[in-house]
């Protein structure tokens, strides 16, 4: 009868440690769940609010009287247009210059600056964009739903730039800067043209690799007073965008109704240092998204 209290006394410290360890594991699990909710839900809420404000601000600036035509330069953080990708079944995505977290975390698609991307109105080059796959708006979460032949449309103040998807790279190294070069490495293209590249992290909920979607310019539609979208953005639009009879192949410049800049017209760098050439081997890696 006297052994039971003594045995309980010996077991008491062990029970306390077991209970403490269990409570610690429960706290860690709860903290991890809260962090996941913050990363994948609350950051989406905040980013979507920022993106909505940026979109409203851009459309208001377009509605105000001002000079038409393409800007001569663009700067980091500047809104330049909207990205429409019907296959992703989402609202238009605001396009801003830059791919640093301070830009992409605002729930936008960012224009690469290192290597320096061309703009849609340039005579030649690759309009390369990045956006988050998960969290912070997750604007490219469904990038894997985009197939070859699908349309991609960029809306600016004065024009609709209609691209057709020609190639997809499901997975590559985060260090592969060639996927956003002027003539993207691994793409179907072998000569300079007017291209678009969309990049994001893959697989979902990781940043282990990057994926890329490549498209070539099919045509440029001038903007009318009502900002009527091109046929590719209608609900019953065909999968592949239609080229205008006068449109040139992707390897040749497509005439633009906007005053075009030279192929070297810069996307202004975020620092005074000179930006890297798109084909430079010293360029930074594709943006972490």
Instruction: Reply yes or no on whether 229 is catalytic.
Output: no
Tell me the per-residue pLDDT of 80-139, one tens digit each, with 9 for 90 and over.
Answer: 999 999 999 999 999 999 999 999 999 999 999 988 999 999 999 999 999 999 999 999
Facing residues of 159 across strands?
A: 222
The 3-state secondary structure of 89-143 reads CCCCEEEEECCCHHHHCCCCEEECECCECCCCCCCCEEEEEECCCCCCCCCCCCH
Q: How far apart are CA 257 and CA 158, in angstroms?
A: 8
Q: How far apart are CA 121 and CA 260, in angstroms?
A: 6
Comparing C-alpha atoms, which of 165, 175, 167, 265 is closest to residue 217?
Answer: 165
Say which of 154, 201, 220, 267 is annotated catalytic: 201
Comparing C-alpha atoms, which of 193, 218, 213 is closest to residue 202?
Answer: 213
Angle at 217 between CA 211 and CA 222, to 5 degrees: 130
Domains of the chain with CATH codes: 1-289 (2.40.260.10)
- What's the pTM value of the predicted model, to 2 decimals? 0.76
Q: How far apart are CA 249 and CA 44, in angstroms?
A: 39
Q: What percent of the chain has pLDDT over 70?
A: 70
Out of 24-28, 104-108, 276-280, which region has the weakest mean confidence (pLDDT)? 276-280
């Amino acid at each position: 009868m006297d052994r039971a209290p003594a045995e309980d006394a010996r077991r008491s410290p062990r029970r306390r440690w077991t209970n403490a360890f269990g409570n610690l594991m429960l706290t860690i699990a709860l903290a991890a769940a809260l962090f996941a909710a913050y990363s994948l839900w609350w950051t989406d809420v905040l980013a979507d609010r920022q993106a909505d404000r940026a979109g409203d601000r851009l459309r208001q600036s377009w509605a105000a009287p001002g000079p038409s035509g393409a800007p001569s330069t663009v700067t980091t953080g500047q809104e330049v247009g909207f990205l429409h990708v019907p296959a992703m079944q989402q609202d238009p995505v605001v396009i801003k210059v830059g791919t640093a977290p301070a830009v992409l975390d605002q729930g936008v698609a960012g224009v690469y600056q290192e290597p320096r991307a061309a703009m849609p109105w340039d005579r030649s080059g690759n309009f390369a964009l990045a956006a988050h796959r998960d969290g912070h708006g997750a604007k490219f979460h469904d990038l894997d739903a985009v197939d070859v032949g699908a349309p991609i449309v960029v809306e600016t103040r004065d024009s609709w730039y209609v691209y057709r998807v020609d190639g997809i790279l499901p997975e590559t190294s985060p260090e592969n800067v060639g996927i956003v070069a002027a003539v993207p490495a691994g793409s179907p293209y072998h000569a300079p043209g007017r291209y678009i590249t969309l990049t994001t992290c893959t697989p979902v909920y990781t940043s282990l690799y990057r994926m890329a979607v490549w498209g070539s310019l099919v045509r440029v539609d001038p903007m009318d007073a009502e900002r009527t979208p091109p046929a590719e953005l209608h609900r019953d639009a065909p999968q592949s965008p239609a080229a205008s009879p006068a449109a040139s192949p992707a390897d040749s410049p497509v005439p633009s109704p906007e005053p075009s800049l030279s192929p070297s017209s810069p996307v202004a760098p975020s620092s005074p240092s000179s930006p890297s050439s798109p084909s430079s081997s010293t360029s930074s890696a594709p943006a972490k998204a």
